[in-house]
């Protein structure tokens, strides 16, 4: 049963504290990465057989496999995928940055170019569930950014095939190449390249502890989006909220995995008890009851705060991945919320809207990193290059100042490079 605390009885560190695995994945992942770097496709095929129990002759997904998958997906779901993709595109197209140029000083031109990374790598988890939403959320921004190629990896089933809904989403999103790969070995393949899998410039997408550790170890060879922890939700709710709705929203995250965390902060002790009781009614009805039960019992919390204002203070201190603001007039409170991955406003906006359909991205900072990081966006798939141009006359106006500055840092060669050009005749 979820525990109820009064404000001040649980520390910030304990609010999203989780029971963590005792397996040391660092060494295991390092060995996998080294093997893939040394042996390429041969290592990947062995890992597919070992971990996915799939015997493959080829890692690449063919166009025929994608076409077949689309034919197997019910038409209604295909239409929903297309509608979701439309919403995601509309939101992310507003994020596109423009290059700029400044030439306000005579003889001086400075500017910045926005350049997409050449090749983006997308990891899509398999295992206990299929996530076509992740395909859309992570590939559409890369396409909008202008990446030349989007490469997707996702683990196959025992039959050597990818879940049809994953391939259907990839087809709708315009993913360029797909490989039957999962786990740390997939991250290694994307980071270093093999005979079949091309090396990418950036890897995005969620995964288990092995995937997260692999992303951490290859960072620097490639860029990554973030080190994502287990999913989390924090709900701020007043006493007028419906406990059935709140319990359902808490469970929408608890069913992800046993390490997921669901927290309710309310100014109503009566609502806290009602939600606690409602959770006990709803958990047994879930197909993923065992996972949700472990998450709620081990990581779930209800905190009774004295006021909504203090509830918002708690949320800002925790910086949750998902924050639901279940109050009337939620826009009155929006400016007060400074740290959250994604905010869901009002009584009719469950977090699931953001997971699948509304348009804002669902790849979000976890574990308090919303204090300094952002949801996945078009910005994640571009880099910036700056440039400077000075005429001789423009340089002559500032060379002495540049040289003086350089001498203050003890760098006489820097100073000399600014003045030497002016010692020669025009």
- The residues annotated as belonging to the active site are 321-322
On whether the CB atoms of residues 231 and 134 are closer than 8 A, the answer is: no
Longest dimension (CA), the chain: 88
The candidate with the shortest Cα–Cα distance to 94, out of 141, 126, 134, is: 141
DSSP strands (E only) in 81-224: 100-102, 108-116, 119-123, 149-154, 177-180, 202-204, 223-224
Mapped onto helix, strand or coil, the DSSP state of residue 194 is: coil
On whether the CB atoms of residues 352 and 252 are closer than 8 A, the answer is: yes
The candidate with the shortest Cα–Cα distance to 15, out of 1, 2, 26, is: 2
On whether the CB atoms of residues 267 and 311 are closer than 8 A, the answer is: yes
Indicate the DSSP class of residue 105.
S
The candidate with the shortest Cα–Cα distance to 149, out of 177, 179, 115, is: 177
Burial of 365 (C-beta count, 10 Å sphere; 0-12/13-18/19+): buried
Tracing tokens 């996972």 back to the chain, one arrives at 291
Indicate the DSSP class of residue 410.
T
Burial of 300 (C-beta count, 10 Å sphere; 0-12/13-18/19+): buried
CA atoms of 177 and 148, how far apart (whole Å):
11
What six digits make up the tokens of 367?
């574990």
* CA count, 13 A, side-chain hemisphere, 380: 28
The candidate with the shortest Cα–Cα distance to 18, out of 213, 230, 290, is: 230
Give the burial string for 85-119 (b: 16+ CB within 10 Å, else e).
bebbbebbeeeeeeeeeeeeeeebeeeeebebbeb
**Sequence-distant (≥ 6) Cβ neighbours of residue 219 within 8 angstroms:** none
């Amino acid at each position: 049963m979820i525990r109820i605390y009064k404000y001040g009885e649980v520390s910030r560190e304990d609010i999203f504290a989780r029971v963590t695995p005792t397996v040391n994945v660092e060494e295991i992942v390092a060995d996998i990465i080294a093997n893939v770097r040394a042996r390429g496709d041969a290592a990947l095929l062995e890992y597919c057989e070992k971990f996915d129990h799939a015997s493959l002759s080829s890692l690449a997904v063919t166009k025929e496999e994608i076409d077949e998958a689309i034919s197997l997906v019910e038409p209604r779901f295909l239409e929903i995928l297309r509608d979701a993709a439309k919403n995601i595109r509309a939101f992310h197209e507003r994020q596109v940055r423009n290059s700029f140029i400044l030439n306000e000083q005579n003889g001086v031109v400075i500017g910045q170019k926005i350049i997409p990374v050449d090749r983006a790598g997308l990891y899509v988890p398999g295992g206990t569930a299929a996530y076509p939403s992740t395909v859309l959320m992570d590939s559409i921004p890369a396409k909008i950014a202008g990446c030349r190629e989007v490469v997707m990896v996702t683990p196959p089933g025992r039959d050597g095939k990818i879940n049809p809904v994953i391939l259907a989403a990839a087809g709708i999103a315009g993913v360029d190449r797909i490989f039957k790969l999962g786990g740390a070995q997939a991250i290694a393949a994307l980071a270093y390249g093999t005979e079949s899998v091309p090396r990418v410039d950036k890897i995005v997408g969620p995964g288990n502890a092995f995937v997260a550790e692999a992303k951490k170890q290859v960072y620097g060879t490639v860029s990554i989006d973030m080190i994502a922890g287990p999913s989390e939700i924090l709900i701020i709710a007043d006493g007028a909220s419906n406990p059935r709705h709140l319990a359902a929203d808490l469970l929408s995250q608890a069913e992800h995995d046993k390490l997921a965390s669901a927290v309710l902060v309310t100014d109503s002790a009566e609502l806290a008890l009602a939600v606690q009781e409602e959770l006990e009614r709803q958990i047994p009805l879930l197909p993923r009851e065992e996972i949700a039960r472990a998450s709620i019992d081990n990581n779930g919390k209800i905190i009774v705060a004295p006021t909504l204002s203090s509830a918002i203070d708690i949320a800002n201190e925790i910086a949750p991945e998902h924050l639901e603001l279940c109050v009337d007039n939620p826009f009155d409170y929006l400016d007060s919320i400074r740290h959250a991955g994604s905010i869901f406003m009002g009584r009719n906006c469950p977090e699931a809207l953001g997971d699948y359909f509304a348009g804002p991205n669902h790849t979000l900072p976890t574990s308090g990193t919303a204090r300094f990081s952002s949801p996945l966006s078009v910005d994640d798939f571009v880099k910036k290059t700056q440039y400077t141009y000075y005429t001789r006359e423009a340089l002559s106006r500032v060379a002495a100042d540049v040289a003086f500055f350089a001498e203050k840092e003890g760098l006489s060669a820097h100073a000399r490079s600014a003045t030497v050009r002016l010692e020669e005749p025009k």
